[in-house]
Amino acid sequence: MAYTADRAYELISSAHQRGRLAHAFLISGAHGSGKENLAARVIQLVSGAAQAGGFDLFGEPVAVETPPLDELESGWIRVIRPRMKSRRIGVDEIRNLEQTLYLAAPGGACKVGVIVEADRMNDQAANAFLKTLEEPPQNTLLLLLTANPQRLLPTILSRCVRLPLLGGRALLEGGGAELVSALNHAAARGFGTPVAALHLKATFASFLARCREAADAAAKAAEKEEISAYKDATDGTWLKEREVFHKAAAEAEYLDARNRLFDVLMAWMADLLRLKVKSGGLDFPDSAAALQRIAAAESETRLLQRMTALDSLRRTLETNASEPLAIEVGFLKAFG
């Protein structure tokens, strides 16, 4: 069962009030579902900030604005997210987190560790983190955020309380609406043929090209601003280092945008399965009519095969495989 972010917060708050708060939560959902905001609200809850709003002149409670997750990071609150060019979380970052969690916080304060995009942990990091889950330090809360819980170790999944969030309209942002429109068009005209699959591939590739162009432009603008501000105040070595930094930042931004588009593909395919098994809760209810035609024509097994092909493509793209070739082969398997 998936929850709204508000309902998930209510469940956590209720458990906290009763002194029954679990030590680890897995908050999953597509990009834009509110995972980071929910994590920030939970941090405020366990740190006491959620009750610190006070009252206005009329005696009404003043709601506390939830700051961005990274702004809450402090000595006893650690936020880990993929920062390397490879978009992976390494074992050193997990070990640094563990060092913080095993220290005694003053006054018995709750220590919080948040892992954003937890599925990006490499094997060493995941195994190291598993040991912390198995023997959590006292007064510790662990929050794992991911759009792809299926990529986590089963042993990690089994030790967390799972809170899947509803996708919401955010999937339609950043090119998502155009991608859904292209998918619906394919659903209405020849879905399941090589021609339709290659047409979708071309559309998807054009979206990726736009994402790449936007990421590169933003990085070049930031680099140009730094050169203008610091070219007379530093030597060329520092500027060369910043050039490398901005190239890595552009690559990371592009990979993040590509990941969001894959969230749309996976959510659309998941809607097909939901219609097939009549489970409801569609991410794209406006696409129901187009999706229903495919759901009625294809078996549940075939739809699962298509979804598996998409997930396999996503994993392949995380390697050094040729992106254009991998996408062409993957789309033929998933949509052909």
The DSSP code for 283 is: S
Tens of pLDDT, residues 222-281:
888 878 877 777 777 877 888 888 888 888 888 878 888 888 898 888 888 889 888 776
Rounded Cα–Cα distance for residues 22 and 29 (Å): 20
Residues 330 and 260 in one domain: yes
**Residue where a domain stops, chosen among 149, 167, 185:** 167
Q: Locate tokens 């998918």: which residue?
A: 183
Lowest-confidence pick of 4-8, 75-79, 160-164: 4-8
Q: Do 182 and 321 belong together in one domain?
A: yes
Residues 150 and 19 in one domain: yes
**Residue 84 pLDDT exceeds 70:** no
pLDDT for 335: 92
How many residues in total does the chain contain?
336
Residue 91, domain CATH: 3.40.50.300
204 with 281, same domain: the answer is yes
Predicted local distance difference test score (pLDDT) of residue 241 = 82
Tens digit of each residue's pLDDT (9 = 90 or more) over 141-196: 999 999 888 788 989 999 999 998 876 566 777 778 888 888 888 888 778 889 98
Give 101-117 pLDDT, tens digit per residue: 988 878 778 999 999 99
Percent of the chain's residues with pLDDT above 90 = 34
pLDDT over 80 at 65, yes or no: no
Check whether 53 has a pLDDT greater than 60. Answer: no
Tally of domains in the chain: 2
Q: Retrieve residue 28's tokens.
A: 């999953």
How far from 53 is each of 49, 60, 327, CA to CA, in Å?
8, 10, 50
Q: Strand (E) positions, the chain?
A: 24-28, 77-80, 111-116, 140-146, 161-164
pTM for this model (two decimals): 0.59
Please tell me whether residues 62 and 197 are part of one structural domain.
no
> Same domain for 162 and 187?
no
The confidence score (pLDDT) of residue 168 equals 55
Residues 180 and 96 in one domain: no
Residues 208 and 284 in one domain: yes
What are the tokens at 302? 């075939």
Q: Which pLDDT value is given to residue 108?
A: 76
d(CA 45, CA 276): 40
pLDDT at 51 over 80: no
pLDDT level of residue 201 (50, 70, 90 thresholds): very high
pLDDT at 324 over 80: yes
Q: Are residues 138 and 75 in the same domain?
A: yes
Higher-pLDDT residue of 30 and 306 is: 306
Of the three residues 108, 142, 167, the one that is the final residue of a domain is: 167
Mean pLDDT, to the nearest integer, of 281-288? 82
Residue-number span of the structural domain to which 146 is assigned: 5-167
Same domain, 20 and 57: yes
Are 276 and 163 in a shared domain?
Answer: no
Among the candidates 147, 167, 187, a domain finishes at 167
- Do 85 and 41 share a structural domain? yes
**Cβ atoms within 10 A of the Cβ of 303, count?**
19
